[in-house]
Structure 1
Amino acid sequence: MPAYHSTFLSEGPADGRTIGNIVLLPIHTSFRGPAYPPEQDYDIVEEVLDLFRANSLFKNFEIKGAADRLLIYGILFVSDCLSKLNKTTSLREATRILNNLALDSFALPGEVGFPLNSLYQGPSNKNEADLLRSYLQQFRQELGDRLLKRVYKDNDAAPSKFWLAFTRKRFMNKSL
């Protein structure tokens, strides 16, 4: 059975901005950044959260387009977020942890510390690098916020064991 790919593959360079080979898709967000709101309710952040548990079981993933690269980045970030939580972390503490994780400095494609440089092209200039960094930071903040809403949906005192079960799974044997 193959891995699940992004439904936004048809939205390529003509529909959205592309930096390197990552497309900057619209996001419903309350955080400041360059992302603009999408026309439909379903966005890439919802897709990452919907496909995370199924795709995290796969060690191989065939990239079919720029939206798949953003999906991979999102899945790896969700995996990092879940690894920071434990059974006794309250919603308040988890919010602080994931906000710090989203705002921490991180490597961009093409930089030395980025784990998937073989699959991603880096930005061509400093302006593109700044735009990509601010987009990914906004993407990470929104992803962390929506993840917490799902993980703590039933109980604010403890995260869902069905989400924490995926902390040991490593999508593509990689991590951010």
Structure 2
Amino acid sequence: MLEVVTVVVLSITAVLTAWCGFEASKWGGEMSIAFSRASSARVQAASAEATAQAARQYDLTIYTQWVLADEEGNDELVRFIEERFTDEFAVAFDAWNTEGRSARGPFAMPDYVPPGTVEAEKSSARADAQFDEALANNQRGDDYSLLTVLFALVLFFAAISQHQTREWGRRIFLALSGVMAIVGIVTLLTFPIKL
């Protein structure tokens, strides 16, 4: 009877060990994919931020000229410069004027959103989410790898049980491997599966 139980424990554990190795590999792949997506989103965020910074610089240069023209009282030049405001800056400039120019300038207005700003924020948020997903996938792979080690111990103790000369030694090692197998199976049932 002990021989049959040992063979069953060894067989089931061998299959579960292979399954855990497979799952660890799949989650490792998912981790790599998520890290790649996070990296791509970071590049997109940097590109969009560069676009936003260039737009800010352009608007700042034009606004500086407007301030100088306004200070000199050159209304014709003021109107000429205002016609060259970007749409995004014009909205903030109008809001600033409407509020009586009480804020520190149009750039301080919440209405000022240069092109690329929203895209940069979205890409950055997407990169953060993908990075977090990659870390979670890495942990899942590690969990499966750790379970593989547990099942390897089950195999070890089941194999040792066969080489015990005393009946009680066989029973102890087989019981130990059985308990560890049950703990491993229960733990395995709580893990997510990636096919």
TM-based fold match above 0.5: no
User: For the pair shown, which has the larger CA radius of gyration, 1 or 2?
Assistant: 2
The structure richer in helix per residue is 2
TM-score w.r.t. structure 2 length? Answer: 0.26
Q: Relative CO higher for 1 or 2, CA cutoff 8 Å, sep ≥ 6?
A: 2
